[in-house]
Amino acid sequence: MKIHYVNLTDGSRLPVNINFGTLYYLQKSGAEAMLKRIGKRKKAGKGKMSEEESMEFAAKMIYVILRSNGKQVTFDEALQLAPMDTDEIEALWDEFIKKLEEFKKKQDAKQRMKTQTGQS
Dump pLDDT digits (tens) for 92-102: 777 778 888 88
Digit-coded pLDDT (tens) for 46-70:
767 777 877 888 888 889 888 988 8
Backbone angles phi and psi of 7, in degrees to 5: -85, 115
Residue 115 in any domain: the answer is no
Number of folded domains that form the chain: 1
Domain that holds residue 58: 5-88
Say how far apart CA 3 and CA 15 lie, in whole Å.
7
Residue 109 in any domain: the answer is no
pTM: 0.71
Low-confidence residues in the chain, pLDDT < 70: 1-2, 47, 119-120
Instruction: Decide if 53 contacts 38 (C-beta within 8 A).
Output: yes
% helix, strand, coil for the chain, step of 5: 70, 5, 25
Residue 59 in any domain: the answer is yes
Task: Please name the residues in contact with 19: beta carbons below 8 A apart, sequence gap of 6 or more.
Answer: 68, 103
Q: Which helix (H) or strand (E) holds 13?
A: strand 13-15
